[in-house]
Structure 1
């Protein structure tokens, strides 16, 4: 058996942080949208920003999907760790109450 510990607070905080990043990815538009020649100064640069925007939309959605999955995995993991910890604590309490001299078992 290996000695492993889980920092539940850190796992939960990571899930919340990744969820916030996911929200930003899905709500924020391409920062280059709406920039024309009057702002960028050259049609070639406008085209580059437009190409970037098209690529960014595709990649942003992929990243957002992966962030959502990771957030759900971390949330599920923290819940599972808490459930296991609770079950182990209950099992230990049950064992203690059956020990002689603890008031729960034969003397």
Structure 2
């Protein structure tokens, strides 16, 4: 049987990456207004508006999921740290 090996560095990297992803996806919303002038004809602009509205809804769900996973990673990291401290004391 193989032992599970999780380092604090791996969990810390995961936390950092999730924070970056959340920041990137969170900041995408302002691009809608930045690009509106290049959409052109009314039908194209209407279709793009619909797409962006739909994407906004999914982006909010994605942001929520990223937050949830980040919380789980943070909890796992703290649990492993506490377990290491406990094992060191009782070693």
Unaligned runs of 5+ in 2: none
Which residue of structure 2 aligns with residue 52 of structure 1?
51
- Map of 1:19 onto structure 2: 19
Deviation readout 1:51-100 (Å, 9 max, x if unpaired): 011101111100000000001100110111011011101111xxxxxxxx
Which has the larger displacement, 21-30 or 69-78?
21-30
- The 3-state SS of whatever aligns with 2:32 is coil
Runs ≥4 residues deviating over 6 A: none
Q: Could you say which structure has the higher helix fraction?
A: 2
Rg larger for: 1
Q: Could you say which residue in structure 2 is the equivalent of 1:69?
A: 68
> What secondary structure, in the 3-state scheme, does the structure 2 residue paired with 1:87 have?
helix
Aligned residues: 90
Instruction: Look up the SS of the partner of 1:33 in the other structure.
Output: helix
Partners in 1 of 2:17 and 2:26 — Cα distance? 14
TM-score using structure 1 length? 0.74
Unmatched 5+ residue regions in structure 1? 93-107
* Cα RMSD for the two superposed structures: 1.8
Change (3 A) 1:2 1:40: closer
